[in-house]
Amino acid sequence: MAFKVVFMGTPNFSVLPLKKIYDSGIEIVLVYSQPPKKSNRGMKIEKSPVQKFAEEHALNVRTPNKLKDDLDYFKSISFDLVIVVAYGQIISKEFLQLSKHGFLNIHASILPKWRGAAPIQRSIMAQDSFTGISIMQIEEKLDSGPVLIKEKIMLDTNSTAGEVEKNLSDIGANKILDAIYLVETRKANYTVQDDKEATYAKKIKKEDEKINWQEGAKKIIAQINGLNPRPGAYFEYKGEKIKVWKANYSSESEETPGVVMNNQLKISCGEGSILIQEIQRPGKKAQKIKDFLLGFSIPAEERVN
């Protein structure tokens, strides 16, 4: 009898694992995704990337506002395993107990470090030297289940959240096929997490986005990289929120953090300074610093907030 899976996922990060499973010939009996939402621009209703993929490939897809409201339908289908990749809803005990082989989740960190909503961003912002993916069993407690597969990647001071997300999606897509094979052949060997080693990746909030010039330059660059491509780190100048997408480190600094040190937008920090490389004004496109400065000047000795 063919091994059957249910897939739960929503953003672009989830699409490649879904595609890998689909291309492998494993039977996907059902796909769950978050319901369509209004786009950032205008009132257009936008389907999630996972829903779009499912519909384009004639997969059965459901998008309940609340997963718990779909319990009766979930009970009515026959399947062996559920794969979850950034679905975005809490999966209750009533669902978890219905899968023959449980629920496997691709989580974007090396568990038990960075459990929670924003593991890639928090890892970069913490200046970690590495991150990775963990494929683990879902339990009721957040990201606490036993781990089946881990795969580590190294980070450097130029790693952005967007680049790391793409890399981890690709790794997770390949490793999920290994995980499904291990489960199907009953060769899965799980390792229990040590809760004492757990750290938590809290959801990115508005207060995480504003640059604090009292911080050291290396920490500020990590913030910029961790929030690229969304939502972006910013500073304020003459009432505008100006986003910084890329910056380099310099050991030079002024006594006062937030002071512009030259006409190429080198800004002093609590320790060292940053040389801004890519920047964006509200309502404008992101620009390389030389192009930005052709039309908008922030002179030396000015202070930004």
Question: Per-residue pLDDT tens for 272-286?
Answer: 999 999 999 999 999
Handedness of CA 85, 170, 117, 283 (dihedral sign): negative
DSSP string for 38-56: E-SSTT-EE--HHHHHHHH
Q: Which CATH class is domain 207-295?
A: alpha beta
pLDDT category at 128 given cuts 50, 70, 90 is very high
Break the chain into its structural domains and give their ranges. 4-201, 207-295
pLDDT digits (tens, 9 = 90+) for 86-111: 999 999 999 999 999 999 999 999 99
Q: What is the CA radius of gyration of the chain?
A: 22
Find the mean pLDDT for residues 5-26.
98
Instruction: Please report the pLDDT score of residue 42 as a whole number.
Output: 62
CB atoms within 10 A of CB 131: 24
Mean model confidence pLDDT for the chain: 97
CA distance 18 to 293: 43
| Residues 148-170, mean pLDDT to the nearest whole number | 98
pLDDT of residue 41: 63
pLDDT value for 39: 76
CA distances from 101 to 7, 137, 162, 180, 188 (A): 14, 9, 32, 10, 10
Q: Span 4-201: which CATH code?
A: 3.40.50.170
- Exposed, middle or buried: residue 192 (CB in 10 Å: 0-12, 13-18, 19+)? exposed
Q: Return the percentage of the chain with pLDDT > 70, whole number.
A: 98
Q: How far apart are CA 229 and CA 120, in angstroms?
A: 12
* Secondary structure of residue 148 in the 3-state scheme: strand
What is the arithmetic mean of pLDDT over 13-25?
98
Digit-coded pLDDT (tens) for 33-48: 999 998 766 678 999 9
pLDDT tens sequence across 113-127: 999 999 999 999 999
pLDDT of residue 44: 85
Q: CA 51 from chain center: how many Å? A: 18
β-bridge partners, 260? 267
- Could you tell me which of 267, 269, 222, 262 has the C-alpha nearest to residue 246? 222
User: pLDDT tens-digit profile of 191-230?
Assistant: 999 999 999 999 999 999 999 999 999 999 999 999 999 9
129-157: average pLDDT: 97
